[in-house]
Structure 1
Amino acid sequence: QVLHSHSYRFAEPFSGQTVVILGAKSSGLDISIELAKAGAKVTLSHGYPPLTFPLPPGIQQSSSVVAVDNAGCLRLQDGSVCKADVLMFCTGYNFHYPFLDAAQLGLEIQDHMVSPLYRFMLPPAFPSLFFIGICKIICPFPNFNCQVQFALAVLDGSVPLPSREQMEKEVQQEQQEKLEKGVQWRHLLKLDQGQWEYCETLAQLAGFPPLQPVVRSLYEEVWRQRQIHPANYRRNNYQLVSATRWELIHSPEPERPDV
Structure 2
Amino acid sequence: MLVHFTTFPTVDCQIRFFLEHLVRGLQLPSKKEMYSDTALERKRRIAEGMRDQDFHKLGDDLWPYLEYLSSTAGFKPVPPVVQKMVQYTDVQRVVNLQGYKKHTYKVTDSHSFETI
Map 1:58-77; keep pairs closer than 5 Å: none
| 1:200–1:210 contact (8 Å) kept in structure 2 | yes
Q: Distance in 2 between matches of 1:243 and 1:158?
A: 30
Would you say 1:216 and 2:80 are equivalent positions?
A: no
Query: What is the CA deviation profile of residues 105-147 of structure 1, one whole-angstrom value per residue up to 9, with x for unaligned ones?
Result: xxxxxxxxxxxxxxxxxxxxxxxxxxxxxxx833210111000
Q: Secondary structure at the match of 1:193?
A: helix
TM-score scaled by length of structure 1? 0.42
> How big is the shift at 1:157?
3.9
| CA root-mean-square deviation | 1.4
Would you say 1:149 and 2:12 are equivalent positions?
A: no
| 1:236–1:248 contact (8 Å) kept in structure 2 | yes
Query: What is the CA deviation profile of residues 150-205 of structure 1, one whole-angstrom value per residue up to 9, with x for unaligned ones?
Result: 01111124420121111111111111111122110011111111111000000000
| 2:4–2:90 contact (8 Å) kept in structure 1 | no
Q: Distance in 1 between matches of 2:78 and 2:29?
A: 25
Amino acid of the structure 2 residue aligned with 1:235: K
Q: Distance in 1 between matches of 2:9 and 2:39?
A: 26
Compare CA radii of gyration and give the structure with the larger one. 1
Q: Secondary structure at the match of 1:190?
A: coil
Identity of aligned residues (%): 28
Q: Secondary structure at the match of 1:210?
A: coil
Q: Secondary structure at the match of 1:247?
A: strand
How many residues get paired? 114
| 1:203–1:210 contact (8 Å) kept in structure 2 | yes
Map 1:179-198; keep pairs closer than 5 Å: 179-198=46-65
> How big is the shift at 1:208?
0.2
TM-score scaled by length of structure 2? 0.91
Higher helix share: 2
> How big is the shift at 1:231?
1.4
Amino acid of the structure 2 residue aligned with 1:144: V
Q: Distance in 1 between matches of 2:100 and 2:29?
A: 44
Would you say 1:237 and 2:104 are equivalent positions?
A: yes
- Compare relative contact order (CA 8 Å, sep 6+) and give the higher one, 1 or 2: 2
User: Which ranges of structure 2 fall in alignment gaps of 5 or more residues?
Assistant: none
Name 1:200's counterpart in structure 2: 67
User: Which ranges of structure 1 fall in alignment gaps of 5 or more residues?
Assistant: 1-135, 250-259
Q: Distance in 2 between matches of 1:160 and 1:217?
A: 32
Higher strand share: 1
Map 1:148-167; keep pairs closer than 5 Å: 148-167=15-34
